[in-house]
Amino acid sequence: MTQHNAPKPDDRSDNAEKLKSMMQNTKENMEAAEETMMFADGKDKEAIKAKNNRRKDSMESMRSEIKDEESSC
């Protein structure tokens, strides 16, 4: 039996909403990490700080992408 995998249509209509949801999840992860950091030792604290800094960078990129998506609609 032969399967034909047709490409999915390029539907970007909900990209901004998906990005907003991703930002909310990232924010919640950052807050949870901050709480965890209170109980972490030095090495783990540094790893959490570094990860949260990367999350902040990601959120800035997502904000920019949201603006682009909303302006293209």
pLDDT for 4 equals 76
Provide mean pLDDT across the span 34-53.
96
Provide mean pLDDT across the span 33-54.
96
Question: Exposure of 19 by Cβ count < 10 A (0-12 exposed, 13-18 middle, 19+ buried)?
Answer: buried
Q: Compare 6 and 26 and report the one with higher pLDDT.
A: 26
Provide mean pLDDT across the span 14-23.
94
CA distance 27 to 4: 40
Provide mean pLDDT across the span 29-52.
96
